[in-house]
């Protein structure tokens, strides 16, 4: 026989059952929420790892691009250096050849300069005797220059050519300068010289009373008082005191060698 459940007991049973169901439902919801929370947490952790991987990938890509750019720059630089090195090698070869030629030229030009200086020395001694101290010293300096080891051959040659140019210019100029001359009594007198190229060399005393000229045929000074006024005029022209003018002066004709 099945016992009958009374109304009060039934109500208690229903409440208990509801309580049990409510507790079970609450536990189920908590489990779901905890699981969702755990999933969200894992998702966040996964995103952090993904973000980290993405950033590392970006860094690697940027490093790769930078290295690639640097490599390309080095390639361009190497090509330029190769071209420059090639040109420098060719230049060194050219310089080496030039130095060999220069050595040959130096061996040939030194004897030539020596002969030129010797010829210049003879020329000055045989020429009309103007500015003899200056010209003789110039030749002596050239002779001493040849023995200087610290002076290049090019500089020595330049000095020799400069001396020849100076001597050449004397033939195209007129000038006045002071120097001494030996008179008939053997004394030395300071006078004013007048040089007209290499064709006339005359002098006059300061008071104008003594006038002389160089006689190239006899290699001596002779009296030229009859040309006193013309010599005075020539001195004024040389000193730029008056404008150039026609001068009537004794000139020795050039002699054939």
- Higher model confidence: residue 62 or residue 224? 224
Confidence of residue 2 (pLDDT cuts 50, 70, 90): very low
Q: Mean pLDDT across the chain, nearest whole number?
A: 83
As a whole number of angstroms, the distance between CA 152 and CA 146 comes to 10
User: Confidence band (pLDDT; 50, 70, 90) for 140?
Assistant: very high
Q: Which of 42, 183, 98, 204 is nearest to 212 (CA)?
A: 204
pLDDT at 255: 57
Q: Is the pLDDT of residue 134 over 90?
A: yes
pLDDT(176) > 50: yes
Higher pLDDT among residues 66 and 144, named by residue: 144
Residues ≥6 apart with Cβ < 8 Å to 116: 160, 164
Alpha-carbon distance 173 to 175, whole Å?
7
Model's pTM, two decimal places? 0.59
pLDDT, greater one: 215 or 95: 215
pLDDT higher at 37 or 77: 37
The mean-pLDDT minimum among 66-70, 148-152, 159-163 falls in 66-70
pLDDT greater than 60 at residue 4: no
């Amino acid at each position: 026989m099945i016992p009958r459940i009374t109304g009060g007991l039934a109500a208690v049973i229903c409440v208990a059952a509801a309580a049990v169901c409510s507790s079970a439902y609450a536990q189920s919801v908590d489990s779901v929420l905890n699981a969702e929370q755990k999933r969200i947490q894992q998702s966040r952790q996964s995103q952090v790892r993904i973000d980290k991987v993405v950033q590392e990938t970006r860094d690697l890509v940027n490093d790769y691009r930078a290295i690639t750019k640097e490599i390309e720059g080095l390639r361009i630089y190497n090509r330029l250096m190769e071209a420059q090195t090639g040109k420098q090698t060719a230049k060194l070869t050219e310089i080496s050849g030039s130095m060999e030629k220069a050595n040959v030229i130096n061996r040939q030009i030194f004897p030539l300069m020596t002969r030129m200086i010797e010829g210049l020395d003879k020329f000055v001694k045989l020429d009309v005797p103007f500015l003899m101290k200056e010209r003789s010293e110039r030749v002596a300096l050239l002779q001493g220059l040849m023995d200087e080891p610290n002076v290049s051959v090019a500089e020595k040659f330049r000095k020799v050519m400069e001396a020849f140019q100076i001597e050449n210019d004397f033939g195209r100029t007129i000038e006045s300068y002071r120097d001494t001359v030996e008179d008939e009594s053997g004394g030395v007198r300071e006078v004013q010289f007048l040089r007209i190229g290499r064709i006339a060399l005359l002098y006059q005393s300061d008071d104008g009373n003594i006038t002389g000229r160089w006689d190239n045929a006899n290699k001596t000074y002779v009296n030229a008082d009859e040309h006193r006024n013309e010599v005075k005029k020539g001195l004024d022209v040389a000193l730029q005191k008056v404008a150039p003018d026609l001068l009537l002066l004794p000139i020795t004709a050039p002699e054939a060698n």
